[in-house]
């Protein structure tokens, strides 16, 4: 039986019924990895031995009746989420040897639930990028077309899920890094509301935007993972002090009468025709399920990319200052302290990371702060207010996740501006701190997946999942698999 092809929901049910044991799943998943990982290259580290030990723990938990919903489920974790004693690199040479002495809150919760860690997935270095080409180690390929990128920065996680190299994965989303690769790889990716999931142990790129979320084969799987990882964490001051929700609560419930906003600024000329068609189809489909589409306006959308690249890079320039060769990670010695700093950081960071550190440092510099950083914060507030106004009229906002399907490897890597524009539909959501999901909504003529983004009100992940589930269950897209 091809266990690796199954979902969390399916495997959890089988484990619950005693039809299967955790180590059997692991054996099958590692067999799959052996077959396809050479082509996809989704992982930086495979934790084979660890996985078998965890599978044993899971089986003991099942045996003693202390099982959780994710017990025995093989999950891949993005390599910017700290796993105690396990190499955590952020796909950066500067952390090539970093084994954190602590566990992130999300993986601690997964461990309590007796999950099985399969490995740490590839990404753009420090989550900076939209194609996973910025990895300091190797590129990852899109399982639907090996000549194409899987998206980024959580490209490894999305590709691993799409290629059935794991059952589900964790990613992180700062400007679209869960949703855009989910869209490119034809899987589901949820970015929770800022503060919904603890950031403790997530290596920071841009602290005010970063959020961890699930990448899964279906909507219900995302809901199940959210049930485990979400919640207030005293170790993260920015996590929201609100009670625990059951994210599966509304799955399968009627969506009749939901008002879905269609922002006119997101359907611009020059957009990929096939993407536009699939999104229009999806909106029509939602209408057929009883939703009411309403045209809305998010007038400050055109400033989102510029705002994002000031806020995110400013925070990043500070967050990445700790990689100086003094305490851990790469150190290149020099004749004095300054030379050690310069050599270490020159050698340790890749081009895109350096570019963003410089952008951010510039934006925060004396004399430029008001014109850049401060202005960006003001625009960020306006963008947030756009959404607040829109949500007075509608329950959800529906947009394409990305302006195009997966592009070719190398196509945009030398043109950072073009690369930055691939996040144009996802970035505003991070600036506003809102939850949003990307779900498959069809394919283009070349057989590349296209993603539909559903944006919700703050902390309405359950609503988003309800709408997404209704769409998913009445369409065939999520059942389609790439041929590898």
Partner 1 sequence: MQYEAVIGLEVHAQLLTESKIFCSCSTQFGAEPNTQVCPVCLGMPGVLPVLNKRAVEYTIKTGLAMNCRIAPYSRFARKNYFYPDLPKGYQISQYELPLCEDGYLEIIVDGEKRKIRIKRIHLEEDAGKNIHDPSGYSFVDFNRTGVPLMEIVSEPDIRSPKEAALYMKKLRTILRYLGVCDGNLEQGSLRCDANVSVRPVGSTEFGVKTEIKNINSFRFVEKALEYEIKRQIKLLQVGEKIIQETRLWDSQTGTTQSMRSKEEAHDYRYFPEPDLVPVIVSEEWIEKIKKTMPELPDQKFDRFLKEYGLPEYDAQILTEEKALAEWFEKAVVLGGKPKEVSNWIMVELLRLLNEDAKDITECKLTPQELVELLTLIEKGTINRNTAKDVFEEMYKTGKSAETIVKEKGLTQISDSSVIIEAIREIIAKNPKEVERFKAGEEKLIGFFVGQVMKLTKGKANPKLVNELILQELKKGE
Query: Does the footprint of partner 1 cover residue 321 (CB under 8 A)?
Result: yes
* Sign of the CA dihedral with 165 first, then 171, 175, and 176 last: positive
Q: Which of 39, 253, 264, 322 binds partner 1 (CB under 8 A)?
A: 322
Residue 220's Cβ-side half-sphere holds a number of Cα atoms within 13 Å equal to 16
Instruction: Please give the angle made by the CA atoms of 382, 430 and 392, to the nearest 5 degrees.
Output: 55
Q: Compose the 388-427 pattern: x for residues touching partner 1 by CB under 8 A, - for all others.
A: ----------------------------------------
Q: Of 131, 154, 157, 177, which residue is the catalytic one?
A: 177
CA distance 15 to 10: 9
Task: Figure out which of the listed residues 201, 214, 400, 451 binds partner 1, where binding follows CB under 8 A.
Answer: 201
- Closest distance to partner 1 from the beta carbon of 366 (Å): 5
Contact (CB, 8 A) for 473 and 484: no
Cβ 67 to partner 1 shortest distance, Å: 29
Q: Is 101 in the site for partner 1 (CB under 8 A)?
A: yes
Q: Which is nearer to partner 1, 122 or 453 (CB)?
A: 122
Q: Strands of 174-237 (E only): list them.
A: 188-191, 211-216
Cβ contact 180:227 at 8 Å:
no
With beta carbons less than 8 A apart as the criterion, state whether 297 and 431 touch.
Answer: no
Q: In DSSP terms, which residues pair with 39 in a beta bridge? A: none
Q: How far apart are CA 272 and CA 184, in angstroms?
A: 14
**Cβ 203 to partner 1, closest distance in Å?**
4
Instruction: Tell whether residue 327 is a contact of partner 1 (CB under 8 A).
Output: yes
Nearer to partner 1, 268 or 337 (CB): 337
Pick the closer one to partner 1 by CB: 326 or 480. 326
**Residue 6: alpha-carbon gap to chain centroid:** 21
Site for partner 1 (CB under 8 A): which residue of 52, 98, 232, 267? 98
- 177 is known as an active-site residue: yes
| Minimum CB distance to partner 1, residue 31 (Å) | 32
Instruction: State the Cα–Cα distance between residues 317 and 362, nearest whole angstrom.
Output: 9
Task: Give the residue from 80, 247, 78, 239 showing the smallest Cα distance to 170.
Answer: 78
Preceding amide of 153 cis, omega within 30: yes
Does 238 participate in binding partner 1 (rule CB under 8 A)?
Answer: yes
| Residue 322 or 389 with smaller CB distance to partner 1 | 322
Q: Any residues with CB less than 8 A from the CB of 82 and at least 6 apart, and which?
A: 88, 100, 102, 103, 104, 107, 201, 202, 203
Which span sits near partner 1 by CB under 8 A: 50-58, 110-118, 200-208, 222-230? 200-208
Among the listed ranges 13-21, 24-32, 144-152, 233-241, the one in contact with partner 1 (CB under 8 A) is 233-241
Q: Which of 280, 365, 378, 474 binds partner 1 (CB under 8 A)?
A: 365
Q: Which residues does 14 contact at the CB level (< 8 Å), separation at least 6?
A: 6, 20
Interface residue with partner 1 among 244, 366, 417, 445 (CB under 8 A) is 366
**The tokens of 38 are what?**
């050479």
- Residue indicated by tokens 């000329």: 269
236 makes contact with partner 1 (CB under 8 A): yes
The two three-digit tokens of residue 63, written as one number: 């045996």
Active site residue 153: yes
Residue numbers at the binding site for partner 1 (CB under 8 A): 80-82, 88, 90, 95, 98, 100-102, 104, 199-204, 206-208, 234-238, 314-315, 317-318, 320-322, 324, 326-328, 337, 341, 361, 364-366, 369, 373
**Annotated catalytic sites, by residue?**
78, 153, 177
């Amino acid at each position: 039986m091809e266990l690796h092809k199954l979902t969390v929901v399916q495997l959890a049910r089988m484990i619950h019924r005693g039809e299967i044991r955790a180590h059997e799943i692991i054996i099958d998943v590692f067999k799959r990895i052996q077959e396809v990982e050479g082509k996809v290259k989704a992982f930086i580290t495979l934790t084979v031995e660890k996985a078998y030990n965890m599978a044993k723990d899971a089986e003991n938990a099942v045996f003693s009746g202390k099982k959780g919903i994710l017990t025995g489920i093989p999950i891949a974790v993005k390599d910017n989420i700290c796993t105690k004693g396990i190499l955590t690199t952020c796909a950066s040479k500067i952390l090539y040897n970093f084994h954190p002495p602590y566990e992130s809150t999300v993986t601690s919760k997964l461990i309590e639930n007796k999950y099985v860690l399969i490995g740490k997935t590839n990404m753009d270095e420090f989550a900076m990028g939209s194609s996973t080409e910025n990895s300091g180690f190797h590129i990852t390929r899109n399982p639907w077309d090996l000549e194409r990128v899987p998206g980024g920065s959580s490209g490894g996680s999305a590709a691993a899920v799409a290629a059935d190299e794991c059952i589900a994965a964790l990613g992180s989303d700062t400007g679209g890094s869960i949703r855009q690769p989910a869209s490119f790889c034809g899987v589901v990716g949820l970015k929770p509301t800022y503060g919904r999931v603890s950031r403790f142990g997530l290596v920071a790129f841009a602290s005010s935007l970063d959020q961890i979320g699930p990448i899964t084969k279906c909507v219900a799987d995302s809901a199940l993972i959210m049930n485990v990882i979400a919640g207030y964490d005293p170790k993260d001051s920015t996590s929201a002090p609100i009670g625990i929700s059951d994210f599966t609560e509304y799955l399968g419930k009627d969506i009749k009468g939901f008002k879905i906003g269609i922002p006119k600024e997101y359907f611009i000329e020059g957009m990929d025709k096939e993407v536009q068609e699939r999104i229009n189809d999806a909106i029509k489909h939602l209408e057929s399920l009883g939703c009411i589409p309403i045209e809305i306006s998010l007038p400050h959308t055109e400033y989102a990319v510029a705002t994002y690249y000031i806020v995110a890079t400013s925070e990043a320039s500070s967050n990445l200052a700790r990689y100086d060769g003094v305490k851990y990670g790469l150190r290149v010695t020099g004749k004095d302290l300054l030379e050690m700093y310069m050599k270490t950081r020159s050698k340790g960071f890749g081009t895109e990371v350096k570019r963003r550190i410089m952008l951010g440092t510039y934006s925060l510099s004396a004399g430029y702060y008001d014109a850049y950083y401060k202005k960006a914060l003001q625009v960020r507030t306006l963008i947030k207010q756009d959404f607040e106004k829109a949500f007075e009229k509608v329950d959800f906002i529906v947009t394409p996740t990305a302006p195009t399907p997966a592009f070719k490897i190398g196509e945009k890597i030398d043109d950072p501006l073009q690369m930055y524009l691939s996040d144009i539909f996802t970035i505003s959501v991070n600036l506003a701190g809102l939850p949003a999901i990307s779900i498959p909504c069809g394919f283009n003529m070349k057989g590349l997946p296209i993603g539909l983004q559903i944006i919700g009100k703050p902390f309405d992940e359950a609503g988003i999942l309800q709408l997404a589930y209704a769409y998913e269950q009445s369409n065939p897209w999520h059942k389609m698999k790439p041929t590898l």
